[in-house]
Structure 1
């Protein structure tokens, strides 16, 4: 472990705060490094900070949200809570993102929350274990309920006396669902449409320099299936798990995109230029000339890492999409006009973007083990990519990949790829998922051991980790480089969407799918958040406490 700690410190780098590379649009929204005023910090306080040690939380299979010493939480909002007179909060909340309404007031703003998926047993009463064919056994009314509970929510929240609360019936509070009309940001129609119906499978996301939310459609095939092509380029339809295609005539090609949401108007658009695949996230960097670079991973076994470089300032339409060859350190262009091999297979750029997985394979991109969240180190500018796992290939615990763009240029077409750390018992975590840097550059990480695998004796490789957890890897102080568990999720749940408030004093976090292995509603596998209904409910919580504030000040010692 000592070797891993030294390697981690070297991996992240301990550059001075003057070398900070994070763009201003992220600095203004928190979730990055911001220099702290030291004028009124006494030597005694600094010495206490130097000696600060984190108390690691032991792995637990208890049905509760457990936090280490120095942290506390309260629930902001949970499934079915009203956000207005007509709308309620959706199911299985994932990515969170907070934008203050006034940049001078970090305690009042708009919270975006993804609703990734539904458990039909809770949402519509459809029992997948009892009924195997939704085409025959599910009703339109049940599908309508399911369509409402995915997408996302915008809620205005305020911190009052140390607790974050939803502003009831605020004009900004609204839902985006699988029935919301959404424009395609593209010149050519897709399956005859320039406006499509709804968004779903919304996993992680991002934020733009112009202060809009990005929400990413991941496992879209679960709802409308997928179009598959044989060696002769003949298409067939593969059925979905939830069977929505039997009730709605919405082509699957309308899903699998990055969706941009205006927080104040709720207007949405899908960015075709970023490609169609199981987007886990979309992380943007704004260049000096205001062009943007967008990183996104395809969360599926043996899929790829992508980067879009815009050719015009502030555009997510005009530019080129690339896929990573991590073996040779090259970004491979997915431009139909300049790639003869793509012209042989696809009729135009639109088809390349719809079938981008096939295009990436043709170009020789490097298969990766479920690339999920992507974050940019605010100190060094290195790009960190979580590779959650790849069980068929024997990778049960995943790893974190580091991308170093040539000369630190985010629009470079070459890079160096290396593995920083692999999951497993030796390093204290398994299946890394979401990442976030706090105001001092400490790295926070959630895990994603599937509900079907955790706490099962027949899956012994996951038994030591018990429930999913939240970890922090300090950058400074005596614990620098240690992987420290600071929260443990309720049963069957995963912790997702970590996002820091602008002042760094609150960590917004989703508790997703507690009790997902329930087969009998009268005997759920979890009862969190214990609100009296006797059923589990996904929820967003605010984590606060002295520990977060103290960790944010540890950079004073090193800077």
Structure 2
């Protein structure tokens, strides 16, 4: 971590979501016990400084990023901008961000940014349907993955990047990535130990040892265009923002599916717990619990903890975590009363032939979870751990096939407040819609005072139409945690045309909020006629996904 001893506050900044839970456990201030305490605590804290610091805005329909009075934003870096002296450039649809300060001043450091996808016309200049050319495939793979940029605040308070930084680098669909854990070298991944690249990189988190966990979400389209093996993608990738020599690893023990946001914490006995969600409709909620225990003095050697452990899926009906093991899957498939469950699109004979060893369970985790009785849900895309109680908050954007138009927020409270527990209580705590003030909740973030920041994820082609019309453009909301308006959403930021606001990340002093403005002009279908021109930079002929730095917090 830049070979410096971290202060406690800087440590929390590295960890992000779930950080305070870890810190509390390490200081003897562990999570509250009992589901009632966890439930009551979610919306009864004193109003935090951030919530009180702005007057909520009205949603907009214009092609601009709108913020409350007293706040401003700097466009920090946009698609195509140089990020180092070697000529590397910033990728496309940026989402997850995390700031790694060089010291406690919080004004200079590295910003990690994920890149989830590309626009076929705006990024690849693909004007007709059909196979991509060689140069288009190169751009497709290069402009996904991640960017590491050096960011700093100048003397006038404006945030900028250093385009010649020695730290600036790209992680793309061309990097060599090692498979770790039980699926490495197995039949299920075609015998591979090394694979090509990472892409579909949407959400992420940070480990207690200071590395990034980057989630591969939608990957099938890129695999098809580039002729790559499907089983090599859909994993959680570990990388070190400071160290380009740190071996990139896809941790197969965490399972393969369409990864959304994840949250990292520790069990009461010190094991690493990773909560994960699958972003496809009718998918499940997961957690991984390591076999070994976290050792702060071991530094990045703790990464090996993610190679061995148990992957669970949530049975929400019975409040239990279901271990995903090959023994259990075989037993279920061979049962006389077995019927293929809803959501599994294979016949029994194919499933019996597929599941032979534990690697098969991990590679086809979604079907294994449903076979073993885990609950299909409306795609848990956002996850965050509530600092005091340790409860997991999950955001479900929507599932129109089930009539869930506006989505909801749910709370999973582990038994005795222990992230390593086998049982839990689960309930919906807030429904999207006009009554709550938000629709389609996606990325989640708790600030230092336990205010919940919620980024909406209304599909670009549905914005300002039908049931979504009252919410106008996508936005970033603060869900109040106290007072008469507890659990009601207040709009902090309104996005440009067809954009989504994703990957919010505070500096540790909470004076700056980094925010991704992803896919502005997403429905653009004709060259020369973009539906957005944001961020309206001189010389640009179309929109550019960008990261902004928001200032104005007291």
TM-score range normalised by the length of the shorter chain: 0.7 to 0.9
- Which runs of 5 or more structure 1 residues have no equivalent in the other structure? 1-21, 36-45, 225-239, 550-559
The Cα shift of 1:208 comes to 0.3
1:395 to 404, 407, 411: 404
- In the alignment, the residues of structure 2 paired with residue 99 and residue 450 of structure 1 have an alpha-carbon distance, to the nearest angstrom, of 31
What does residue 12 of structure 2 align with? Answer: 26
- List per-residue Cα deviations over 1:45-69 (Å, max 9, x = no partner): x999799574221121111000112
Alpha carbons of structure 1 residues 366 and 25: separation in structure 2 relative to 1, 3 Å: farther
Say if 1:29 and 1:99, in contact at 8 Å, map to a contact too: no
Q: In the TM superposition, what is the alpha-carbon distance from 1:521 to its structure 2 partner?
A: 2.7
Tell me how far apart the structure 2 counterparts of residues 178 and 200 of structure 1 sit (CA, whole Å).
6
Q: Secondary structure at the match of 2:260?
A: coil
Cα distance per residue 1:337-360 (max 9 Å; x no partner): 455436853110111100111111
* Cα offset, 1:471, TM superposition: 0.5
1:447-478 CA distance string (max 9 Å, x none): 0001111123xxx1111111000111233467
Deviates more, 1:355-364 or 1:182-191: 182-191
Q: Say whether residues 1:323 and 2:313 are aligned partners.
A: yes
Superposed CA deviations along residues 278-307 of structure 1, whole A, max 9, x for unmatched, are 001221102454420000000010000000
The answer (yes or no) to whether the contact 1:27–1:33 under 8 Å persists in 2 is no
The answer on whether the counterparts of 2:14 and 2:99 sit within 8 Å (CA) in structure 1 is no
Query: 1:480, CA displacement in angstroms?
Result: 4.2
CA offsets per residue over residues 502-536 of structure 1, 9 Å max, x none?
Answer: 11111110000001111223121001000021310
List alignment gaps of at least 5 residues for structure 2. 1-7, 24-45, 294-301, 335-351
State the match for 1:375 in structure 2.
384
**Once the 2 structures are TM-superposed, how far is the Cα of residue 406 of structure 1 from its aligned partner?**
0.2
CA distance in 1, matches of 2:332, 2:52: 56
- The TM-score normalised by the length of structure 1 is 0.83
Which residue, 152, 176, 180 being the options, matches 1:185? Answer: 180
Q: Partners in 2 of 1:378 and 1:338 — Cα distance?
A: 34
Q: 1:526 aligns with which of 521, 524, 532?
A: 532
User: Could you tell me how far apart the structure 1 residues matched to 2:255 and 2:48 are?
Assistant: 49
Kept in 2, the 8 Å contact 1:61–1:491? The answer is yes
Alignment match, 2:473: 467
Q: Name the SS of the counterpart of 1:281 in structure 2.
A: strand
Superposition deviation, residue 370 in structure 1: 1.0
Aligned partner of 2:196 in structure 1 is 197
Structure 2 residue aligned with 1:227 = none
Q: Provide the rounded CA distance (Å) in 1 between the counterparts of 2:403 and 2:47.
A: 46
3-state DSSP of counterpart to 1:311:
strand
| Alignment partner of 1:277 is 2:278 | no
Take 2:124 and 2:544, find their aligned partners in 1: how far apart are those partners? 14
- Specify the SS of the correspondent of 1:143: helix
Matching residue of 1:261: 239
Residues 351, 343 of structure 1: CA spacing in aligned structure 2 closer, same or farther, 3 A cutoff?
farther
Give the Cα separation in 1 of the matches to 2:97 and 2:476: 15
| Corresponding residue for residue 237 of structure 1 | none
Aligned in 2, Cα 1:124/1:524: closer, same or farther, shift over 3 Å?
Answer: same
Q: Against the structure 1 CA distance between its residues 408 and 451, is the aligned structure 2 distance closer, same or farther, given a 3 Å change threshold?
A: same
Asked if 1 retains the 8 angstrom alpha-carbon contact of 2:413 and 2:426, the reply is yes
CA distance in 1, matches of 2:126, 2:399: 30
Matches within 5 A, 1:357-436: 357-436=366-445
Per-residue CA shift, 1:247-306, capped at 9, x if unaligned?
A: xxx211000000011112233110100000000122110245442000000001000000
Q: Distance in 2 between matches of 1:151 and 1:441?
A: 30
> Which residue is equivalent to 1:168?
163
Count of residues paired in the alignment: 485
Distance 2:102 2:483 in 1: 35
Does structure 2 conserve the Cα–Cα contact (< 8 Å) formed by 1:155 and 1:174? yes
Deviates more, 1:378-387 or 1:153-162: 153-162
Q: Closer, same or farther in 2 for the Cα pair 1:411/1:251, shift >3 Å?
A: same
Q: Secondary structure at the match of 1:407?
A: helix
> Contact (CA 8 Å) 2:47, 2:482: kept in 1 or not?
no
Label 1:272 to 1:23 Cα distance change in 2 as closer, same or farther (>3 A): farther
- Cα distance 1:489–1:186, how it changes in 2: closer, same or farther (>3 A)? same
C-alpha distance in 1 between matches for 2:54 and 2:106: 27
